């Protein structure tokens, strides 16, 4: 039995007609087939608007599918929703939850009561989790007086209070500083490793987060799952390519589009900076650099720095999607 299993799962939104626009449809998920094994920390990696949150909402019974089926912990998300909700929990990054006038400990106790957990079991669990995420000194502080990072730590704890069989974290480190994000990642990884009957599905658009945390990753874009494997196996699919980070003093979008058509350049992305353009390029062979230098010279541009590096999940995403993750978010309207 898989912890999570979907079969041709789709979700289509009907957009009503307005004065300016005709009626239309938006395909948020398109025939998604996915399996997650028990004990896995599984990641959905993709830009905002790719369909990650829609998938989580279906798996947590918040939203119904338009077609296809989904099971979580062996239960159908539509037919057995009531029983399923007892076994799962969900936390979304950036959300505001709890009551500002209540302290951290009081808020967490309140959530345990929603789930019917006796107080003599709830309080030891609350104190244990508060300690694990480093909130001991803030346990009796009102929620309204917490920083964004500390408030998000409290929200994360809320998801673990019921010790669910399957936990869903939707962008858990969204908007957090480096230190807070690192603490949450360490806690999440430790929770899964502690008990192999637990399963955690994480959505993220942070490449480093997916590489650091996940046993396996599904790359998703425009509602479709494009690839599923371990981070290392996904990166190995482009080991035959030479990956370069190149900074040039100037290069506009039209010239970059022409640059990508140079024979031997398999994929790439470009980010404009104050001093020029930072490119991430994949070459089928190192000799392509000479062609690149001639191309830049013809357009009055020159290389400032050039660095060869190991492939990353970002490079895999560019290979599969044809654009960088940040460019994909812009196209998705985020």
Which tens digit of pLDDT belongs to each residue from 26-75?
999 999 999 999 999 999 999 888 999 999 999 999 999 999 999 999 99
- Which among 46-60, 69-83, 179-193 has the top mean pLDDT? 69-83
Residues 255-291: pLDDT tens digits? Answer: 998 998 899 998 888 888 888 899 989 888 878 889 9
Identify the CA nearest to 267 among candidates 306, 199, 334, 314: 314
Q: Half-sphere exposure of 215 toward its Cβ, with a 13 Å CA cutoff?
A: 16
> From CA 46, how far away is CA 236, in angstroms rounded?
19
Biggest CA-to-CA distance, the chain? 75
Please name the residue ranges forming H helices in the chain: 52-59, 81-84, 104-114, 119-132, 148-160, 178-194, 207-213, 231-236, 253-259, 288-298, 313-321, 325-331
Question: In percent, how much of the chain has pLDDT > 70?
Answer: 97
Q: What is the pTM of this model?
A: 0.84
> From CA 303, how far away is CA 249, in angstroms rounded?
7
> From CA 305, how far away is CA 273, in angstroms rounded?
14
In the block, residue with structure tokens 């994929």? 267
pLDDT (0 to 100) of residue 21: 86
> From CA 288, how far away is CA 242, in angstroms rounded?
10
Residue 203 class from Cβ within 10 Å (0-12 exposed, 13-18 middle, 19+ buried)? buried
Does residue 333 carry a pLDDT above 60? no
> Which residues, at least 6 apart from 222, have a Cβ–Cβ distance to it below 8 Å?
27, 30, 50, 51, 332
Does residue 330 carry a pLDDT above 80? no
In the block, residue with structure tokens 């140079």? 262
For residues 211 and 200, the answer to whether their CB atoms sit within 8 Å is no
Give the strand order in the sheet containing 24-36.
24-36, 4-15, 67-72, 75-76
Does residue 334 carry a pLDDT above 80? no
Does residue 301 carry a pLDDT above 80? yes
Question: In percent, how much of the chain has pLDDT > 90?
Answer: 54
> From CA 74, how far away is CA 114, in angstroms rounded?
24
- 287 versus 89: the higher-pLDDT residue is 89
DSSP secondary structure string, 273-300? ETTEEEEEEEESSTTHHHHHHHHHHHTT
Chain-centroid distance of CA 298 in Å reads: 40
Under the banding of pLDDT at 50, 70 and 90, the label for residue 328 is confident
pLDDT (0 to 100) of residue 87: 94
Residues 130-146: pLDDT tens digits? Answer: 988 888 999 999 988 98
> From CA 68, how far away is CA 8, in angstroms rounded?
5
Query: Computed from CA positions of residues 176, 180, 181, 184, in that sequence, does the dihedral angle turn out positive or negative?
Result: negative
């Amino acid at each position: 039995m898989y912890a999570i299993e979907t079969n041709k799962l789709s979700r289509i939104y009907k957009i009503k007609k307005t004065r300016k626009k005709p009626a239309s449809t938006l395909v948020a998920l398109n025939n998604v087939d996915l399996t997650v094994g028990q004990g896995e920390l599984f990641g959905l990696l993709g830009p905002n608007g790719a369909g990650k949150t829609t998938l989580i909402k279906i798996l947590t019974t918040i939203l119904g599918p338009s077609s296809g089926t989904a099971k979580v912990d062996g239960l159908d998300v539509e037919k057995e929703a009531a029983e399923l909700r007892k076994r799962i929990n969900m936390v979304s990054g950036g959300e505001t939850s709890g009551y500002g006038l209540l302290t951290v400990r009081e808020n967490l106790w309140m959530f345990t009561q929603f789930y019917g957990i006796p107080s003599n079991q709830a309080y030891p669990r609350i104190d244990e989790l508060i300690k694990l995420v480093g909130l001991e000194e803030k346990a009796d502080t009102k929620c309204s007086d917490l920083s964004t990072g500390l408030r998000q730590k409290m929200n994360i704890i809320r998801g673990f209070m019921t010790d669910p069989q399957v936990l869903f974290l939707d962008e858990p480190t969204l908007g957090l500083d480096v230190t807070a994000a690192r603490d949450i990642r360490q806690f999440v990884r430790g929770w899964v490793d502690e008990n192999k009957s637990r399963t955690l599905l994480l959505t993220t658009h942070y490449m480093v987060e997916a590489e650091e945390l996940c046993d396996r990753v599904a790359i998703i874009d425009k509602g479709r799952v494009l690839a599923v494997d371990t981070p290392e196996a996904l990166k190995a699919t482009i080991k035959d390519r030479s990956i370069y980070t190149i900074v040039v003093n100037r290069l506009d979008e039209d010239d970059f589009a022409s640059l990508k058509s140079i024979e031997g350049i398999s994929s790439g992305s470009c980010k404009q900076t104050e001093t020029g353009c930072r490119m991430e390029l994949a070459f089928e062979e190192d000799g392509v650099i000479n062609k690149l230098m001639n191309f830049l010279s013809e357009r009055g541009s020159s290389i400032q720095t050039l660095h060869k590096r190991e492939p990353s999940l970002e490079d895999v995403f560019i290979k599969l999607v044809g654009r960088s993750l940040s460019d994909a978010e812009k196209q998705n309207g985020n």
